[in-house]
């Protein structure tokens, strides 16, 4: 169990997945290098990454080789650097999809703090008729889009359908 694993986030990996530039500037911390080395030395060990902080940048995932997002048998068989280039090319949406995938497979558990001590006040004000009209029309557009996407995916794998529907729902909640 790697508790406080976010301390290994400063990692620089070569093409074979080994830490490089250790201790040079801030390319790769010694902690990150040892975490990568430990996982390589124990290939059959089960690893649990524990951290209260989320990944702020995709490059900080480098030490988490056991998530199965890169390496043989994945979309990124050449390793983490290929995975990282793919995320950078595809942008924030790809990162969101990976996060949804990790949550759906139980590979990641994201919790929030309690809101029990928070105070809020409900204010119901739709504005004028023009605001209400724009809101209703945009809601109808999203419902229509969601339905058409589901219809077009009929017969497709559930994997494709899952990501398309969830991507649409993410857009709808913005």
Q: pLDDT by residue (tens digit) across 128-170?
A: 888 889 889 999 988 888 788 777 767 665 556 566 666 655 5
Q: Is residue 44 part of a domain?
A: yes
**Which residue, 104, 120, 142, sits at the end of a domain?**
104
Confidence band, pLDDT 50/70/90 cuts, at residue 20: confident
Do 100 and 153 fall within a single domain? no
Do 95 and 140 fall within a single domain? no
Mean pLDDT value across the chain: 78
Q: CA–CA separation, 34 vs 8, rounded Å?
A: 9
Q: Pull the structure tokens for residue 149.
A: 């996407």
Q: Is residue 32 part of a domain?
A: yes
Do 94 and 147 fall within a single domain? no
pLDDT at 137: 92
| Count helices and strands in the chain by DSSP H and E runs | 5, 0
pLDDT at 94: 82
How large is the average pLDDT for residues 77-98? 85
In contact, 19 and 28? CB cutoff 8 Å: yes
Q: Alpha carbon of 34 to those of 27, 28, 43, 59, 155: distances in Å?
A: 14, 10, 14, 17, 46
Do 74 and 158 fall within a single domain? no
Radius of gyration of the chain (CA): 21
Q: CA–CA separation, 109 vs 111, rounded Å?
A: 6
Helices within 43-128 (DSSP H only): 80-90, 92-104
Q: Is residue 109 part of a domain?
A: no
Burial class, 32, CB count within 10 angstroms (exposed 0-12 / middle 13-18 / buried 19+) = buried
Do 17 and 88 fall within a single domain? yes
Do 25 and 74 fall within a single domain? yes
Q: What is the pTM of this model?
A: 0.57
pLDDT at 30: 80
Domain span at 80: 5-104
In contact, 18 and 36? CB cutoff 8 Å: yes
In contact, 51 and 4? CB cutoff 8 Å: yes
Q: CA–CA separation, 57 vs 165, rounded Å?
A: 25
Do 70 and 140 fall within a single domain? no
pLDDT at 99: 80
Do 21 and 98 fall within a single domain? yes
Q: Calculate what percentage of the chain has a pLDDT beyond 70.
A: 80
The three-state secondary structure class of 22 is strand
Q: Is residue 118 part of a domain?
A: no
- Asked if residue 117 has pLDDT above 80, the reply is no
Do 13 and 96 fall within a single domain? yes
- Asked if residue 9 has pLDDT above 80, the reply is no
Q: Is residue 22 part of a domain?
A: yes
How large is the average pLDDT for residues 104-111? 78
Q: CA–CA separation, 6 vs 12, rounded Å?
A: 14
Do 99 and 133 fall within a single domain? no
pLDDT at 67: 86
Q: Is residue 97 part of a domain?
A: yes
The domain tally of the chain equals 2
How large is the average pLDDT for residues 96-124? 78
Q: Which range (103-112, 116-125, 156-165) has the least confidence?
A: 156-165
In contact, 31 and 8? CB cutoff 8 Å: yes
């Amino acid at each position: 169990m790697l508790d406080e694993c976010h301390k290994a986030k400063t990692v620089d990996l070569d093409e074979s997945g080994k830490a490089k530039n250790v201790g040079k500037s801030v390319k790769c911390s010694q902690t990150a290098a040892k975490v990568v080395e430990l996982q390589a030395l124990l290939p059959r060990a089960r690893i649990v990454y524990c951290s209260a902080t989320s990944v702020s940048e995709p490059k900080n995932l480098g030490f988490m080789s056991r998530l199965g997002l890169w390496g043989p048998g994945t979309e990124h068989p050449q390793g983490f650097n290929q995975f990282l280039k793919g995320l950078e090319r595809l942008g924030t949406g790809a990162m969101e999809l990976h996060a949804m995938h990790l949550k759906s497979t139980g590979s990641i558990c994201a919790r929030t703090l309690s809101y029990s001590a928070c105070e809020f006040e409900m204010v119901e004000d739709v504005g004028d008729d023009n605001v209400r009209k724009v809101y209703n029309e945009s809601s109808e557009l999203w419902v229509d889009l969601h339905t058409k996407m589901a219809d077009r995916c009929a017969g497709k794998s559930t994997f494709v359908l899952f990501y398309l529907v969830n991507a649409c729902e993410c857009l709808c909640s913005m």
